[in-house]
Amino acid sequence: MNEPLLQVEALSVHFPVRGRGGAPATLRAVDAVGFEIAAGETLGVVGESGCGKSTLARALLHLVPIHSGRVRFDGTDYTHADERGLRPLRRAMRMVFQDPMASLNPRFTVRQAVREPLDIFEPQRPSRERDRLAVAMLDRVGLGAAFAERYPHELSGGQNQRVSIARALVADPKLVICDEAVSALDVSIQAQILNLIADIQRDTGIALLFVSHDLSVVRHLSRRLLVLYLGKVMEYGDAAMLFANPRHPYTRSLLDAVPVPDPAVERARRPPPLSGELPSPLAPPSGCVFRTRCPRASPVCAITPPPLRGGPEARFACHHPLEEHTP
Q: Give me the CATH number covering residue 266.
A: 3.40.50.300
The DSSP secondary structure of 263-288, one letter per residue, reads HHHHHHH-PPPPPS-PPPTTSPPSSS
Could you count the other beta carbons within 10 Å of the beta carbon of residue 194? 18
Average pLDDT over residues 34-63: 94
Dihedral of alpha carbons 210, 95, 231, 184, sign: negative
- Contact (Cβ atoms closer than 8 angstroms) between residue 189 and residue 157: yes
pLDDT of residue 271: 58
pLDDT of residue 192: 87
- Contact (Cβ atoms closer than 8 angstroms) between residue 130 and residue 151: no
CA atoms within 13 A on the CB side of 171: 27
pLDDT of residue 221: 85
**In sequence order, what are the residues at sequence separation of 6 or more whose Cβ sits closer than 8 angstroms to the Cβ of residue 274?**
253, 257, 293
pLDDT of residue 135: 95
Neighbour order of strands in the sheet with 309-310: 93-96, 175-179, 207-212, 42-46, 224-229, 232-238, 314-316, 309-310
> Where residue 95 falls among pLDDT bands split at 50, 70, 90?
very high
Secondary structure (3-state) at 246: coil
Average pLDDT over residues 48-77: 94
Say if residue 13's pLDDT is above 90: yes
Range of the domain at 52: 6-102+173-316
139 part of a folded domain: no
109 part of a folded domain: no
pLDDT of residue 217: 82
33 part of a folded domain: yes
- Over residues 263-285, the pLDDT tens digits come to 565 556 555 667 778 888 888 99
Count of structural domains within the chain: 1
d(CA 85, CA 75): 14
Q: What is the pTM of this model?
A: 0.91
Average pLDDT over residues 227-256: 94
pLDDT of residue 130: 96
131 part of a folded domain: no
158 part of a folded domain: no
Partners of 7 in the β-ladder: 36, 72
- Contact (Cβ atoms closer than 8 angstroms) between residue 179 and residue 202: no
- Over residues 157-196, the pLDDT tens digits come to 889 999 999 999 999 999 999 998 888 778 888 888 888 8
pLDDT of residue 239: 93
d(CA 123, CA 178): 26
Say if residue 260's pLDDT is above 70: no
254 part of a folded domain: yes
Dihedral of alpha carbons 213, 216, 222, 227, sign: positive
pLDDT of residue 320: 95
56 part of a folded domain: yes
Average pLDDT over residues 125-129: 95
Selection from 310, 251, 36 nearest residue 243 by Cα = 251
Q: Which of 257-266, 271-280, 286-295 has the highest mean pLDDT?
A: 286-295
**What is residue 170's DSSP assignment?**
T
d(CA 81, CA 103): 24
pLDDT of residue 163: 94
pLDDT of residue 272: 61
> Where residue 305 falls among pLDDT bands split at 50, 70, 90?
very high
Secondary structure (3-state) at 60: helix
**110 or 50: which leads in pLDDT:** 110
Say if residue 4's pLDDT is above 80: yes
Say if residue 138's pLDDT is above 80: yes
How much of the chain, in percent, has pLDDT values that exceed 90? 69
Average pLDDT over residues 25-32: 91
Strands 6-18 and 68-73: antiparallel
83 part of a folded domain: yes
pLDDT of residue 61: 93
